[in-house]
Each structure stands twice: as structure tokens, then as C-alpha cells.
Amino acid sequence: MKLTIIPSDGAVYKDGVSYSGLNLSSVPTNVHALQWYGTEGEVEFNGRPKPQNELITSLPTWAITAMTKWDEAKVAEGKN
């Protein structure tokens, strides 16, 4: 699975399908984006100077919550 989360846009992109305007209030305020590439990924942070990205091998709880919001949007659109 490829996953991108951009909290400032309320956007979640999963396997090429995106929904925006989602409630992503569970994402920490210092997160600019999350990029996930199947079995690993990285978290990009806000700040000046720009903090180094954090490499991850499992999705944080807030990312799983964001994916739930994506699932809800997909069901609401009738593409379940």
C-alpha cells in the first residue's frame, strides 16, 4: 500500500485515490506529511530550520486514524 497524509490539506492519498477536507485532528501539529511505501516510510515535520524526516517501519496510531477517515469518505462516496 502506498499512503500519503497531508494534515494541512486534510488529505489522505491511498493507492492513488485521494480524499481531502478530512478531519485529521489526531495528527500531531508538528507533522507536515507522512509518506508510506508498503513496508516503510517517513514522517516529514514542520519547523525552521526544517527538522530531519523520521524513518518509520510501522504506521503511527494517528496515521491509522487518518486511514479510517479515508475509508469513511470512500464509503460515503459509495465506492466501498
* Extents of the domains making up the chain: 2-77
Which pLDDT score, from 0 to 100, does residue 34 have? 98
Per-residue pLDDT tens listing for the chain (80 residues):
999 999 999 999 999 999 999 999 999 999 999 999 999 999 999 999 989 999 999 999 999 999 999 999 999 988 65
Phi, psi of 76 (to 5 degrees): -60, -30
Helix (H) or strand (E) holding 2: strand 2-6
Which pLDDT score, from 0 to 100, does residue 78 have? 85
pTM of the full predicted structure?
A: 0.94
Give the C-alpha separation, 59 to 79, whole Å: 24
Phi, psi of 50 (to 5 degrees): -65, 120
- Which residue in the block uniquely carries the three cell numbers 491509522? 64
